[in-house]
């Protein structure tokens, strides 16, 4: 496969340091060493981009990096919120950036992996994939049409991970790729049978990632050979209850991962054998679980439950009912968890009691131009009535979410602050 320096192909990959890769580290555990804000003391700064933000930020050496649907990736001074540089691609960016050494990696809307010099914002190289696309199917979500429909809720593109000189990422072409971190030269690719938009985790020289083909794969990081594949649920009728958007979190030899088949799974990392699964009553688990001190934390979509599950037994320890669907992956720092929802709220939640310590509402949610929210800021689901009574309503619902600044971005904690993006187009520092 050839390499190109064309800016419109650009893409990204992460590194192993805590704030510089999606969900905290290469094992994707969501654990941060630096405590976050114990109470809300106001917005330190917000940075406005030209489109919704669904990606998660990366923080490295006093700079916050974020991609936006306006097709730019931004470098922003951590202390002031001022733009340092921006780099334009040709498509919206839905992959979370990461920094390794002096290089930033991200996956472009065209599916290519790109490397950018963090000092200058100039491209170093790009590795194109075969193509990029959303998950799609006939009769998707039961809309009852014969044509193939792209899933509006497939909002993320795989965020790469860097380990041992290689960059690993998934693609809408159904492949998982490994590239040389310095040169971008393809090392191997592994074929699945559908879109791979989940982000890989790496542990013990093994790459773990799920596909929309219903399998979670373990792949040798050196050779690209499959070690095992774990089968989850299928839905051949409406294609609603199938596939991975959640990324695996690997802790103490166990993989914890959510699935759109409405389960949270614990899987033996060495063998691929299931340890337990927790059913979520047909509600997707899109966010990546956070795991610490023997507890798995993750949210659900339609039921809007934020759950604490015993990591050893799979038994529910507690619930918190959020104000909207939860696609955001939680971050844990000190005694608090930080996570967003579709109502435009960021919650700081006590990790032991699951009680809300404080919450923040985005600027768009405060304005609520389409009057979608109840007086307490939760989504008024009765307002979201069908307009066309077909698949187009899926995209209208997404637009409604944009109007209140839904938070699907996953928070990052660094030096006492929490950083996250919103669909109102802003990157916030609290």
Residue 259 has a pLDDT of: 98
**CA neighbor of 394 nearest in space, from 65, 51, 149, 133:** 149
Query: Which token pair is 24?
Result: 């905290």
Question: Is-contact 124 117, C-beta < 8 A?
Answer: yes
Angle at 11 between CA 162 and CA 421, to 5 degrees: 90
Structural domain including 351 reads 7-129+138-429
- The mean pLDDT of 221-228, rounded to a whole number, is 98
Q: Looking at residue 128, what is its pLDDT?
A: 97
Structure tokens at 52: 């919704």
Residue 122 parent element (H or E): none
pLDDT classification of 207: cutoffs 50, 70, 90: very high
pLDDT at residue number 19: 61
Q: What's the rounded mean pLDDT across residues 321-337?
A: 97
Residue 275 in domain: yes
357 assigned to some structural domain: yes
- Of residues 287, 274, 367, the one with CA closest to residue 324: 287
- Considering the domain boundaries, does residue 200 fall inside one? yes
Q: Give the CATH number for residue 151.
A: 2.130.10.10
pLDDT tens, residue by residue, 147-197: 899 999 999 999 999 999 999 999 999 999 999 999 999 999 999 999 999
- pLDDT tens, 67-107? 999 999 999 999 999 999 999 999 999 999 989 999 999 99
Task: Tell me the C-alpha to C-alpha distance, in Å, between residue 371 and each of 39, 375, 398, 403.
Answer: 28, 10, 15, 9
pLDDT tier at 145 (50, 70, 90 boundaries)? Answer: confident
CA distance between the termini of the chain: 43
Cα torsion through 215, 328, 249, 105, rounded to 10: 90
Above 80 in pLDDT, residue 14?
Answer: no
Tell me, yes or no, whether 108 lies in a domain. yes
Question: What average pLDDT does the segment 215-226 reach?
Answer: 98
Query: Residue 283's CB: how many other CB atoms inside 10 A?
Result: 19
Residue 241 lies in a domain: yes
Q: What is the mean pLDDT of residues 31-47?
A: 96
Looking at residue 2, its pLDDT comes to 33
Is residue 4's pLDDT more than 50? no
Does a structural domain hold residue 2?
A: no
Across residues 224-252, what is the average pLDDT?
97
- Supply the pLDDT for residue 257: 98
Look at residues 99, 86, 63 and name the one whose alpha carbon lies nearest to residue 7.
86
Instruction: Kindly indicate the confidence band of residue 140, based on its pLDDT and cuts at 50, 70 and 90.
Output: very high
Q: Is the pLDDT of residue 63 over 70?
A: yes
* Beta carbons within 8 Å of 89's beta carbon, 6+ residues apart: 7, 8, 9, 10, 71, 72, 73, 108, 109, 110, 114
Average pLDDT for residues 47-64, to the nearest whole number?
A: 97
User: Tens digits of per-residue pLDDT, 260-290?
Assistant: 999 999 999 999 999 999 999 999 999 999 9
Overall number of domains in the chain: 1
Average confidence (pLDDT) over 308-336: 97
| Tens of pLDDT, residues 363-393 | 999 999 999 999 999 999 888 788 888 889 9
pLDDT reported for residue 386: 85
In this predicted structure, the answer to whether residue 9 has a pLDDT above a threshold of 60 is: no
The DSSP secondary structure of 32-95, one letter per residue, reads ESS---SS----SEEEE-SS---S--EEETTEEEEE-TTSEEEEEETTT--EEEEEE-SS---S
Q: Is 74 within the bounds of a domain? A: yes
Residues of the chain with pLDDT > 90: what percent? 91
Q: Is the pLDDT of residue 13 over 80?
A: no
Instruction: Identify whether the C-beta of residue 14 lies closer than 8 Å to the C-beta of residue 105.
Output: yes
Is 41 contained in some domain?
yes
User: Is residue 15's pLDDT more than 60?
Assistant: no
* pLDDT bucket at 344, cuts 50 / 70 / 90: very high
Position 5 confidence tier, pLDDT thresholds 50, 70, 90: very low
Mean model confidence pLDDT for the chain: 94
Query: What pLDDT is recorded for position 388?
Result: 86
């Amino acid at each position: 496969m050839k390499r190109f320096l064309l800016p419109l192909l650009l893409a990204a990959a992460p590194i192993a340091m805590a704030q510089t890769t999606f969900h905290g580290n290469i094992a994707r555990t969501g654990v941060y060493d630096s405590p976050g804000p114990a109470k809300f003391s106001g917005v330190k700064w917000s940075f406005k981009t030209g489109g919704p933000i669904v990606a998660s930020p990366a923080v490295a050496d006093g700079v916050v990096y974020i991609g936006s649907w306006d097709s730019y990736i931004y470098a922003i001074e951590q202390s002031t919120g001022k733009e340092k540089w921006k780099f334009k691609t040709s498509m919206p960016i839905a992959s979370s950036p990461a920094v390794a050494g002096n290089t930033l990696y991200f996956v472009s809307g065209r599916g290519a992996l790109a490397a950018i010099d963090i000092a200058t914002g100039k491209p170093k190289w790009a590795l194109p994939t075969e193509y990029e696309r959303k998950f799609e199917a006939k009769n998707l979500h039961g809309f009852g049409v014969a044509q193939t429909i792209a899933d509006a809720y497939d909002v993320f593109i795989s965020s790469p991970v860097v380990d041992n000189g290689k960059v690993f990422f998934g693609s809408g072409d159904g492949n998982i790729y490994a590239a040389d971190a310095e040169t971008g030269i393809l090392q191997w690719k592994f074929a699945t049978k559908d879109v791979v938009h989940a982000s890989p985790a790496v542990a013990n020289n093994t790459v773990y990632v799920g596909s929309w083909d219903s399998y979670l794969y373990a792949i040798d990081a050196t050779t690209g050979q499959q070690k095992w594949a774990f089968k989850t649920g299928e839905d051949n009728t409406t294609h609603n209850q199938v596939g991975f958007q959640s990324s695996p979190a690997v802790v103490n030899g166990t993989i914890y991962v959510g699935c759109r088949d409405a389960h949270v799974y614990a899987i033996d990392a060495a063998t691929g054998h299931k340890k337990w699964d927790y059913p979520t009553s047909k509600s997707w688990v899109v966010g990546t679980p956070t795991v610490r001190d023997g507890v798995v934390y993750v949210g659900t979509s339609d039921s809007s439950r934020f759950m604490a599950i015993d990591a050893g037994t799979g038994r529910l320890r507690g619930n918190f009912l959020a104000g909207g669907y939860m696609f955001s992956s939680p971050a844990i720092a000190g005694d608090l968890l930080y996570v967003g929802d579709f109502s435009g709220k960021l919650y700081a939640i006590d990790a032991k009691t699951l009680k809300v310590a404080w919450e923040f509402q985005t600027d768009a949610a405060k304005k609520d131009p389409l009057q979608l929210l109840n007086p307490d800021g939760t989504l008024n689901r009765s307002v979201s009535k069908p307009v066309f009574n077909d698949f187009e309503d899926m995209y209208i619902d997404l637009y409604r979410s944009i109007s209140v600044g839904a938070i699907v971005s996953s928070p990052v904690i660094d030096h006492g602050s929490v950083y996250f993006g919103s669909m109102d187009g802003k990157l916030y520092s609290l």
